Structures are given as structure tokens and as C-alpha cells.
Amino acid sequence: MGIKKFNPITPGLRQKVSVDYAELTASKPEKSLTVGIHKSGGRNHDGKMTMRQIGGGAKQKYRIIDFKRDKEGIPGKISTIEYDPNRSAFIALVVYADGEKRYIIAPDKIKVGDKILSGKDATPETGNALYFSSIPLGADIHSIEMAPGKGAALARSAGTYATMMGREGKYAIVKLPSGEVRRVLLTCKAVMGRASNPDHGLEVHGKAGKTRWLGKRSRVRGVAMNPVDHPMGGGEGRASGGHPRSRTGIMAKGQKTRSVNKASSKLIISKRKK
């Protein structure tokens, strides 16, 4: 897969950089695995806007993704690779030997026709879901469970992957995309390989309208506001606004936001890079 640049025949195309989507093999989703989405536009049950910068956007359908990969011992075949508007990675439609269809996060470099398997009998090949007790050391993995049977929670976005570092008692030691090294139970699952669409981070929208199509509204900087509207507002001329903080006063840099008493803190070996 590659990156696509455009001839500047319009101002919006001059800066635009897009993924070429050459991997995709289907334009419409599997109807049985989609449900409608209600968009709030950032408004609560009273119709009052409680979240700013949300609204508009193209109509979307939610694709039901199999994050648990609990169909063990039954081989599946990759039928299509599709775009999903709800996530940055691509998704793959899997047709299992018993006829059931499920969507999964598409691993990078997987192709239509490839076979995948989940469970104890699976080999460490791209797309297979294995327990941490079976994953070889140094392997790249994605779609990682944090609790057995709960479903994938870590390394799910485009191009991300974690690295299997070792085993320690009943835990596996995993280095996450953030740089954090933590323990995960050996009874949890992960998918071999990296998540698809690694060039997602190179995309440039090229114009404000593309951002609006994605359901995001424009954002006003705090320093451009008045003191009544933001802690960083006001001042004579172009004042810097003081220490960076949110509209509600939460520090943007330096203030710890993770709970000190969080139960999973004891599983973290080294924290993420700062």
C-alpha cells in the first residue's frame, strides 16, 4: 500500500495526501454485521451542548468487530478487506468453515484467501489469535486483551503493534506502542502481526471541509478567548495566556491524570515515554 498525492487543480488538493486504498477489495459492508449509529452532535438529553467541537459529518454505520476471537479451532478464510469509518485500521471479513461471518481488525499484509485460526492449536502466523503462553518471544502482536475473554483493548489502531518481551510466572511481559512495558496474564490472547494501514499517520486532509466530513467542528484556541471564557484568555495584545490548561482548569502539561490507586498499576514495569 502506498501514499497518493494529487495535482493541485483545486486549493484543497494542493496539500492533500491520502492513502491509495489499493488493499481494499469491497465497497459495501456485510449487512448482517452492521448496525445504525445515532449521533448526538455533542448534545445531551436536554439538547444542550455539553461537548464542543462535535457535529455534522457523513452518515455512518457501525461494523460489529470480533475483538474476542473466541471461535477456537475452526479455520476461517479472509473474504474481503474493507474500510471502516469508525477506526483508522482496515477490517477484514472472515468466513469460517461452519459458514459464520465475522469482522476482525485486518493485520498488515494479509490478503484475500488467507487462512486464519484462533486458540491453542493456532500457529504463530499473521492473523492467528494465540494465548500469550504460545506467542514466541520477540514477535510483533496487536489487538491485545487486558483481561481473559474480555476482548482486545490494546494496539488496535492503524499500524500499531506491541512486542512480546518475555514471561514471568503467570504473566507475559509486553512492550506497548506507547513505550510502556507491562505484564499481561498468559491466559489473555493477542493477534500475530501488526495492524493494517500503517501509512494512516501520513495523511493530510488538505482542507477544513474534510475535517467537517469526519464530524469534527472547528476549535477556538484558549488564548484567543476572553478571561470569562477560558483560564488562558485575556491580556493586552497577543498574551501567551499563562500555563497551558483546559477550559476547566486541568493542566495540559505535567499534571498526573492516572489514579494513584488504580489496581493495574502493579502490572506496569516501566511507564510510557514522556
At 158, is the secondary structure helix, strand, or coil?
coil
The pLDDT value recorded for residue 54 is 97
Predicted local distance difference test score (pLDDT) of residue 242: 84
CATH number for the domain harbouring residue 195 = 2.40.50.140
Residues 6+ apart with CB under 8 A from 70: 118, 149
Q: Is 123 helix (H, G, I), strand (E, B) or coil?
A: coil
Has residue 273 got a pLDDT over 80? no
How many other CB atoms sit within 10 Å of the CB of residue 226? 9
Regarding pTM above 0.85, the answer is yes
Number of compact structural domains in the chain = 1
Q: Which residues contact 225 (CB under 8 A, 6 or more apart)?
A: 232, 233, 234
| Residue 222: inside a domain | no
Look at residue 1 in the predicted model and tell me its pLDDT: 65
Number of helices and strands (H, E) in the chain?
A: 2, 17
User: Does residue 262 lie within any of the structural domains?
Assistant: no
The C-alpha atoms of residue 88 and residue 193 are separated, in whole angstroms, by 16
Q: Is residue 131 part of a domain?
A: yes
- The whole-number pLDDT of residue 274 equals 67
Q: What is the pLDDT of residues 193-250, one digit of tens each?
A: 999 999 999 999 999 999 999 999 999 999 999 999 999 999 988 888 888 999 999 9
Q: What integer pLDDT is reported at residue 104 of this predicted model?
A: 98
Phi (first) and psi of residue 12, to 5 degrees? -70, -25
- Supply the mean pLDDT for the chain: 95
With a CB cutoff of 8 Å and minimum separation 6, the contacts of 263 are: none
Asked, for residue 134, whether it belongs to a domain, the answer is: yes
Confidence of residue 73 (pLDDT cuts 50, 70, 90): very high
The pLDDT of residue 220 is: 95
13, exposed or middle or buried, with CB in 10 Å at 0-12, 13-18, 19+? middle
Mean pLDDT value across residues 82-109: 97
CB 154 within 8 Å of CB 160: no
Mean pLDDT of the region 56-66 = 96
**196 class by beta-carbon count within 10 Å (0-12 exposed, 13-18 middle, 19+ buried):** buried
Q: Domain containing 92: what range?
A: 24-201
Indicate whether 237 belongs to any domain. no
Per-residue pLDDT of 143-164, as tens digits, reads 999 999 999 999 999 999 999 9
